[in-house]
């Protein structure tokens, strides 16, 4: 027969270990959201559009896309660039710091 103390300890360990793994994975997956805004809003030819954070490449370049399938990229130290057709707009050439200062970058709040 197994000692009751050992049984309780093994059950507690079995319950805590998976939770510890969840906490670590959430901390790692939250990191890009700390560096990049969830949404960037831009104006082009009188039309205001929201671009959503969709991907972060291994080289640190974030991709944003809107429902019209227009897309752009930006890195922590770089400026916003359009993907595909060369269009203008209020976001192009701005840094993340400038987008935040102008109110165009919306961060995810816990």
**pLDDT at position 60 over 50:** yes
Place 32 in a pLDDT band, splitting at 50, 70 and 90.
low
| Integer Cα distance of 67 and 50 in angstroms | 8
Q: What is the CA radius of gyration of the chain?
A: 21
Q: What is the pTM of this model?
A: 0.69
Range of weakest confidence among 1-5, 20-24, 70-74, 78-82 = 20-24
> Alpha helices of the chain — where are they, by DSSP H?
4-35, 96-101
| Burial track 35-55 (b if 16+ CB lie within 10 A, e otherwise) | ebbeebbbeeeeeebebebee
Place 10 in a pLDDT band, splitting at 50, 70 and 90.
very low
């Amino acid at each position: 027969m197994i000692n009751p103390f050992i049984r309780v300890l093994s059950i507690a360990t079995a319950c805590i270990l998976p939770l510890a793994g969840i906490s670590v994975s959430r901390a790692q997956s939250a990191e890009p959201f700390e560096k990049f805004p969830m949404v960037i809003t831009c104006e082009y030819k009188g039309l205001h559009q929201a671009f959503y954070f969709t991907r972060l490449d291994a080289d640190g370049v974030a991709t944003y896309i809107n429902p019209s399938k227009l897309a752009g990229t930006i890195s922590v130290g770089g400026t916003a660039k359009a993907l595909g057709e060369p269009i203008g707009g209020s976001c192009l050439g701005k840094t993340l710091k400038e987008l935040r200062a102008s109110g165009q970058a919306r961060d995810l709040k816990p």
